[in-house]
Chain A
């Protein structure tokens, strides 16, 4: 599976650079480790191996219908999104010693100003044998749920994950402990995690409550025929969310100039009494999902990939429209699915299409002047991606996203799509 191998000596150490293709047809290896070190420079001394690598994704957002040459009236943030940015610039160091592995990965990006932060930090122990493997990892580890979340960023053909994936799991890494085993074509992963992954809208990489989330996936990963590879599984999450309490407030006098004469009158003064602090509360949340991916090779054309994933959940949205059943007074049930296809045209080019659906609140309703009616608050996105460089890690991608949502107001007052189509160019390189 190694397409390139280079050796060089450096101070008595051996430097090895290796690039592996994604479709590993060999003994099952922990996906986490395989992905992160798929392209890395390595130095070995005795039983210790040091691997250094990373990747860079630079974007040019050519068109974004939601972009405005204005500042946000609320936060003062620029609303222009038609810009050049470093979406991800990762650098990782990984040390292996006998059956132990330690890795630290940093991410630098300019998504919201200049930011450098921890992307991964894990300490793992594991073994890989021809028929089986196991690994225990502790730290900031990848969340074992579904397929999209466990995909290494440069491996993903589309620029970003689907809406349902980004809403329920705003980050792909969370602090916790993860165990995974593989035996033959069977795979099993389980993790105990804080439940506030990187990218969480409220407490990223923190944990406001003592309860932990339990996440797991069981599935299979096998080559069922010549150049036909199938991956499938079911995932689940059971955890505890957090509703923040409020501090005590003082009495406040508010003047509401009802007659707009600019003069304070007694009838216009309103007393808002202070309130005692309200306690924070926990709430339960869960998700179950199923995923499948099949890849095969069409002679003289190239590799093909078909994939799909479906997720049901409750009170789990932590990214797009964060769910808080305590504040809303009811459980917020989420449902989403994604299907897609990728076709390689020789090794030079590839084209992919993806449709994803995500409803952050399947029970949503809205009050019309006369009656309460159900409201479809779903996000539906078509994504078309053209890649120059095929399915390799070093490629240039052009992606058009057509978004449908219920964030706008039509001229008759009903919900309608708030235009948010985008056209983005991305250059990516793994080193």
Chain B
């Protein structure tokens, strides 16, 4: 939020009252793309009986921390010019100008909002409130959309090698299996259909170690900051190497990472470390990255 170092001078801004602020609202739990942020909880806004929200279209009531581009839309009472959207108890709410009506209800303005949620969202339930607004400042009653937060669960499988990190950087997990096959963003599955005995099993590809996601790829931040290589059926017996490659810190000064290998839910090893900007200079691709963890899958 705005710095307070010189707020004692603000009374000089005698004519500055009114209007909107440049507050990005980035510390709000929910953020609305293209919306104007206003401080104060939406449930504390004094309201009147109209205008009302006719309906709200929402696909899922379950959200995950860091979720982006959750779409909600709906229709408003005739005369509405905007919609206020926010979570009850949040630090602020968002004003979004209303859109033109749909052809099937030509008198009712619509709204289309793209929501994103804080990556540090606690696992609890939220009340998303949507209120129609008409000039000059009539804020109608709230339509409630219950939202439940579901934490992302770690993937399950015979062998799971996971990498987490703490900043919005592009780190990549590389895992080398006992056959020397390296699984990484450029080779996401260790299954080799040409090296094995020919099979007619269409699901044979699932036997390999598979990278589930290339998080923050190319600094397109997705908020996950987590990658996993998973053998869902059985993992080859032998020695493994897990490496962490710093593709880019995406402008951050550092990233702290954790690598852990779980064999049927039992930890085979865990390592932690930190990468600095100097780590970005190494070549990228197969074989890149710093060795983070070595472990052995024993014979059954």
Contact = CB atoms under 8 A, between A and B. Distances in A.
Interface in A358-378: 367-370
B9 A63 contact: yes
Interface string B34-54: 011010000000000000000
Contact of B9 (A260, A369, A410, A423): A423
A239 B282 CA distance: 48
Contacts of B80: 369
Interface stretch (A51-59, A64-72, A278-286, A325-333): A64-72
A369 B98 contact: yes
A80 to B, nearest CB: 6
Given A63-B9, A82-B3, A417 B18 contact: yes
A46 interface: no
A412 B36 contact: no
A33 interface: no
Given A62-B6, A65-B16, A370-B109, A419 B95 contact: no
Nearest to A258: B59
A421 interface: yes
Interface stretch (B128-136, B174-182, B191-199, B256-264): B128-136
A421 B16 contact: yes
A259 interface: yes
Contacts of A411: 38, 82, 84, 95, 133, 137, 139
A226 to B, nearest CB: 39
A413 interface: yes
Interface in A57-108: 62-63, 65-70, 73, 76, 79-80, 82
A414 interface: yes
B18 A416 contact: yes
B3 A69 contact: yes
A201 interface: no
A82 B4 CA distance: 10
A76 to B, nearest CB: 5
Contact of A413 (B5, B16, B133): B133
B100 A412 contact: no
Nearest to B138: A412
B15 A69 contact: no
Indicate the size class of the contact surface on chain B: 35 or more
Contact of B20 (A70, A400, A410, A421): A410
User: Interface centre among A370, A402, A411, A423, by most B CB within 10 Å?
Assistant: A411
A47 interface: no
A68 B21 CA distance: 10
Most buried by B among A62, A408, A410: A410
Given A69-B2, A73-B26, A410-B95, A369 B100 contact: yes
A418 interface: yes
A417 B110 CA distance: 25
Contacts of A116: none
B133 A82 contact: no
A413 B22 contact: no
A420 interface: yes
Contacts of A402: 13, 15-16
A170 to B, nearest CB: 22
B137 A259 contact: no
20 contacts: A65-B13, A66-B22, A67-B3, A67-B22, A82-B3, A258-B59, A260-B59, A368-B98, A370-B101, A382-B15, A411-B137, A412-B81, A412-B134, A412-B137, A413-B81, A413-B82, A413-B95, A414-B97, A418-B20, A421-B13
Interface of B: 1-3, 5-7, 9-10, 12-13, 15-16, 18-24, 26, 35-36, 38, 59-60, 62, 70-71, 76, 80-84, 95-101, 109-110, 133-137, 139, 250-251
